[in-house]
């Protein structure tokens, strides 16, 4: 059996097309959603992510601003930047790219963002609303996972869902979203007994543990839908061979670039499960799409606009 591929690229493009239409409707009312992206220092991976987000803003018609304080920035200096953005009327969403340099207290920074502009969905107020089934701005990657399931016609209510990973960014919020959608949810982690046995019970398996190819075929049941959140860069030849032996396409890529990407799910899982997200091209594109959706939602909430008022 070969799994159905849940294409995050095509779903994210569908979402962005819907957002672009709504942004055009907003602009007719003199409103342009605005996103400020704060990138401290010169982390190359973070620069790529932030530029991609800013580029997507431009494509959809958002206003965007990139703020790049130096790596030596202190917590107090960054708090001052956040405070100014909180007060700006042209900014609806504030994104502080993580990780931050070691001298900065990340939790203080995230707490300082106005919850109404917290488009990453990390503020304790927004996490609290999510836990109370009153979601406001939801963390982007978990929201993307749920959109993949919904737009792929995969039923969540009444299903057994297993989340491997308990991070504040993905594991815990996606577990809450699944619970809110009436799934029966188990969260697994490094102390879970018989992890393979627990995973095999899952109708929906979310892998967000941050370890390359950790979920193997014997851990997955044939009727499962697998959402692979992990993005791990492999540059070790021995590890590459243990995961991708016999895959000519990946062999060519590894030979040319010296590395390749793999999720938290072993590629051979696609041979045993019902449906799966690929890496790359699965959950990754959805994260940016949901960031844009949150920015538009924040713009509407701050102005007390409803979808009915937009189209009416």
| 47 in catalytic set | no
Among 16, 22, 92, 97, the one annotated catalytic: 97
> CA angle, 155 as apex, 276 and 311 as ends, to 5°?
105
66 conformational bin, left if phi > 0, alpha if psi -120 to 50, beta if neither: beta
Among 16, 53, 117, 300, the one annotated catalytic: 53
Q: What is the DSSP-derived secondary structure letter of residue 223?
A: T
| 194 in catalytic set | no
| 120 in catalytic set | yes
Cis peptide before 230 (omega within 30 of 0): no
Asked if residues 147 and 296 have their Cβ atoms less than 8 Å apart, the reply is no
Separation CA 229–CA 248 (nearest Å): 24
Give the contacts of 138 (CB within 8 A, at least 6 positions apart).
121, 126, 130, 173, 177, 290, 294
If DSSP codes are grouped into helix, strand and coil, which group holds residue 61? coil
Q: Tell me which H or E stretch contains 28.
A: helix 8-28
The position carrying tokens 């200096």 is 77
Contacts of range 44-51, beta carbons closer than 8 Å, 24 or more positions apart: 46/97, 46/98, 46/99, 49/97, 50/95, 50/97
Nearest CA-CA partner of 85 in 121, 114, 126: 114
Nearest CA-CA partner of 274 in 149, 144, 147, 146: 149
Would you tell me how many other CB atoms lie within 10 Å of the CB of residue 186? 17
Nearest CA-CA partner of 86 in 52, 54, 123: 123
Among 92, 114, 118, 120, the one annotated catalytic: 120
If DSSP codes are grouped into helix, strand and coil, which group holds residue 124? helix
Separation CA 27–CA 60 (nearest Å): 11
Q: Which residues are catalytic?
A: 53, 97, 120
């Amino acid at each position: 059996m070969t799994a159905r591929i849940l294409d995050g690229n095509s779903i994210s493009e569908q979402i962005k097309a819907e957002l672009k239409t709504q942004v055009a409707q907003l602009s007719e009312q003199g409103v342009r959603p605005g996103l400020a992206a704060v990138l401290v220092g010169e982390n190359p991976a973070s620069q790529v992510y932030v530029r991609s987000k800013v580029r997507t803003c431009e494509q959809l018609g958002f206003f965007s601003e990139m703020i790049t304080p130096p790596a030596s920035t202190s917590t107090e200096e960054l708090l001052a930047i956040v405070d100014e953005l909180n007060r700006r009327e042209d900014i609806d969403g504030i994104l502080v790219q993580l990780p931050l340099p070691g001298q900065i207290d990340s939790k203080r920074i995230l707490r300082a963002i106005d919850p109404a502009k917290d488009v990453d969905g990390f503020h304790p107020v927004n996490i609290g609303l999510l836990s109370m089934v009153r979601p406001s701005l939801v963390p982007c990657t978990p929201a993307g996972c749920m959109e993949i399931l919904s737009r792929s016609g995969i039923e969540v209510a009444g299903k057994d869902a297993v989340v491997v990973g308990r991070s504040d960014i993905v594991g815990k919020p996606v577990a809450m979203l699944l619970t809110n959608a009436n799934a029966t949810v188990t969260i697994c982690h490094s102390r879970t007994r018989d992890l393979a046995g627990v995973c095999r019970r899952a109708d929906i398996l979310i892998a967000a543990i941050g370890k390359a190819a950790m979920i193997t075929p014997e851990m997955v049941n044939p009727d499962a839908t697998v959402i692979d959140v992990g993005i791990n860069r492999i540059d070790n030849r021995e590890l590459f061979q243990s995961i991708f032996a016999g895959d000519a396409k990946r062999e060519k890529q590894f030979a040319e670039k010296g590395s390749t990407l793999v999720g938290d799910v072993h590629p051979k899982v696609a041979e045993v499960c019902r449906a799966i997200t690929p890496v790359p091209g699965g959950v990754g594109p959805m994260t940016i799409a949901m960031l844009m959706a949150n920015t538009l939602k924040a713009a509407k909430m701050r102005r007390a606009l409803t979808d009915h008022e937009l189209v009416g």
